Structure 1
Amino acid sequence: MRIDRLRLFDVTLPLVHSFETSSHRKTGLNHLLVEATDADGRVGWGEIATPSDPYYGSETTHTAWSIAERYLVPAVLGTSWETPDELEASWGRIRGHEFAKAGFSIAGWDLYARSTGRSLSSQLGGTRTAVEAGVSLGIEPTVDELLAQVARQVDAGYKRVKLKIAPGWDVEPVSAVRAAHPGLDLHVDANGAYRESEESTAVMLALDGYGLTMIEQPFAPRDFVAHARLQAVIDTPVCLDESVVAIDDLHTMLALDAGRVLNIKVSRMGGLAAARTAHDVARDAGIPVWCGGMHEFGVGRAANVAISSLPNFTLPSDVSGSDKYYARDVIVPPVVATAGIVQVPTESGIGHEVDVDWVMQNASRTLDVSAAAG
């Protein structure tokens, strides 16, 4: 196969409900979409779901566009490849910039699956026809407003709710939600907002008493030792997210017992091939995994659904319906969750078509490069 044309779209969509984490509040999302066209005119789509600001990680929409334009487009355009793994090898010299790589990875996998007439799930080795979705809720102005949000999602059929926490917003909201929903699959995510101390350990020990499924990324991404020390004193599994960017990081987590659950994000790990490898390593180590999200538009969300169909994704994933985040998504049909369950598409590729006109209406800039143009 050979990709002869690449288009990038810098797209912004408003959120139906603002979302606050330990670092900031956002009312809309700005992601990059990648359209890859092969020599036979087939098209594959990918999404670079980078945050606009360097709070989750070091990448931003601005840096991703620069890396894509200067390095990834030249590496991919006109290169011959037989499998998506070979395509990903074309940018092997580029260090870091996993989000940018992931967008091209998804586009390549989508294109390849369409060329074989298979679904992306099938191409990746998925075994499920449906995946259980959970929802992620941000920090609200008051506990009562958080309780209203939780009730709304539970009424919509979601059986797992993740709460964002931060110093000063942790035990009280968790206690209130647990009291209102005693049997709810509940977990918390700090996005690395805490630093190891007697005070933070006391908070984690208090949270340990609420029957949480996991405490996700309480400490800084590189602090495996602090996570290991915490895991040694609490029963609740520690889940790592930002800490595991490469497979070597996963091996470090396992060696130190720094976590007993893994959040696999396609974007954070640089694409579908790396995400699948992480799934396999965790499976062999007896570590359950789930697919985290970055509030992806429909393209990235569809890729998340596909990877979540692999057998060791045994915990609900952040693949909730498009309507939870966007009034109108960029794909047709949108991702739909019914009673907290999302069906895995059986159509070729990601199983959705991109609404190019809607993409163009919401794009602030585009890049269009063909192999013939050099």
Structure 2
Amino acid sequence: MNIARIELYIIQMPLKSPFLTHLGAVESREGIIVKVTDKAGLFGYGEGVAFSTPWYTEETVKTSLHILKDVLIPLIKEHPIKRPEEAAQLFQAIRRNNMAKSALETALWDLYAKQESSPLAKILGGTRAKIASGVVVATDSTAKALQQIEQYLVEGYQRIKVKINPKQDYSFLAEIRKLYPELPIMVDANSAYTLNDIDRLKALDELNLLMIEQPLAHDDIIDHAILQKEIRTPICLDESIVTFEDAKKAIELGSCQVINIKVGRVGGLFEAKRIHDYCMSKDIPVWCGGMIEFGISRAHNIALASLQGFTIPSDISASSRFWEEDIILPEVQVNKGYVQVPNTPGIGFSLNEKRLQEALLSKKTFPF
């Protein structure tokens, strides 16, 4: 791919409003932007979506930065590649650290698509010109949740995801369902329950939910299979699916009926597409999850969600959902419930250099 240099930008921006789960509140987002430039002057962007603390996975911005600087970039420098798939295969020698891998691998995909003068969605095999958009409600107040839902429906979102936990589940959801009897609603538990809560989770069946996401332990597949046999609501796995093999085992065991694919969680677009393709072959619907990301990651998610198997509205909301001003141009917009898939080379978005500089904490350049 004739790489000339790789640049890492550490940025931080405040959210417009706090994002609340039982695991904690996110009020400000730190992240890593990767820029890979080739010798012809073309460049591709990726984004590291680890958080500042290890509440979602074991990775953090600092650990991702270490892996990028000291392991992955030197690997690419030592072993020149022709296509992004080769980077994904090269990175298999490094255990875990998937968000660091994805940050660099997605930048390589963007660069490669630009070298091929093709939209990234087309390079991946995407077939959709627009994708259905869903959004997350994450608050500790029923009144605030209802207010958010009302606003999101005005904005056209096609599916609502609500964060729940044992202190805020059935009565909270019943109030929402009472006011919105036909609204497509799914819930996300972020591993807040155990098998001791089976009766509590069974009670949610009567609320006609699209799915319940990751109700049990973040690294579990076995207990989810037991739970799925006991409840009618489809289980969707998120944190448990870190690799293609995880997805394969979960489907074979009957641990879920839906899978959430997050590019950062599984290590990049190559692995994400493998999981998508396998799920399609097994008639398991998938959707693209969000990570409170900046616009670069959102752009890669749009390209991925254009693939045929993404039949459920994804967590790809407008840039304005989290940011007063995003780091990409144009910003992602939701129009009548859909996000357009760009048809220009690469991810189809450019960097908002002014906003990037305002959010910049530090920068590191690695010449090749």
Q: Is the 8 A contact 2:236 2:260 kept in 1?
A: yes
State the partner residue of 1:290.
287
Equivalent residue for 1:308, pick from 293, 305, 309:
305
CA drift of 1:52 comes to 1.4
What is the alpha-carbon distance in structure 2 between the residues aligned to residue 328 and residue 210 of structure 1? 37
Map 1:1-374 → 2, pairs under 5 A: 1-77=1-77, 79-140=79-140, 142-197=141-196, 200-371=197-368
Q: Is the 8 A contact 1:3 1:76 kept in 2?
A: no
- SS of aligned partner of 1:135: strand
CA drift of 1:87 comes to 2.5
Q: Which stretch of the first structure deviates more once superposed, 356-365 or 313-322?
A: 356-365
CA drift of 1:121 comes to 0.2
RMSD: 1.1
What is the alpha-carbon distance in structure 2 between the residues aligned to residue 119 and residue 90 of structure 1? 24
- Residues 236-286 of structure 1: CA distance to partner in whole angstroms, max 9, x if unpaired? 110000000011111110111000000000000000000000000000011
Aligned residues: 368
- SS of aligned partner of 2:355: helix
Q: Is the 8 A contact 2:198 2:230 kept in 1?
A: no
CA drift of 1:117 comes to 0.6
What is the alpha-carbon distance in structure 1 between the residues aligned to residue 353 and residue 91 of structure 2? 27
**Structure 2 residue identity aligned to 1:22:** H
Q: Which stretch of the first structure deviates more once superposed, 217-226 or 39-48?
A: 217-226
- SS of aligned partner of 2:106: helix
Q: Is the 8 A contact 1:121 1:309 kept in 2?
A: yes
CA drift of 1:78 comes to 6.3
What is the alpha-carbon distance in structure 1 between the residues aligned to residue 260 and residue 150 of structure 2? 25
- Residues 39-88 of structure 1: CA distance to partner in whole angstroms, max 9, x if unpaired? 21110000001111111111111111111111111112364322110132
- Residues 297-335 of structure 1: CA distance to partner in whole angstroms, max 9, x if unpaired? 000000000000000000000111101111100000011
Q: Is the 8 A contact 1:135 1:161 kept in 2?
A: yes
- SS of aligned partner of 1:312: coil
- SS of aligned partner of 2:70: helix
TM-score (norm 2): 0.98
CA drift of 1:356 comes to 2.5
What is the alpha-carbon distance in structure 2 between the residues aligned to residue 77 and residue 137 of structure 1? 42
Q: Which stretch of the first structure deviates more once superposed, 293-302 or 220-229?
A: 220-229
Structure 1 residue ranges without an equivalent (≥5): none
- Residues 167-208 of structure 1: CA distance to partner in whole angstroms, max 9, x if unpaired? 2011121111111111111000011111220xx112211111
Q: Is the 8 A contact 2:238 2:261 kept in 1?
A: yes
- Residues 154-177 of structure 1: CA distance to partner in whole angstroms, max 9, x if unpaired? 111112000011120111211111
- SS of aligned partner of 1:337: coil
TM-score (norm 1): 0.96
What is the alpha-carbon distance in structure 1 between the residues aligned to residue 232 and residue 39 of structure 2? 54
- SS of aligned partner of 2:37: strand
Instruction: Report the identity percentage.
Output: 37
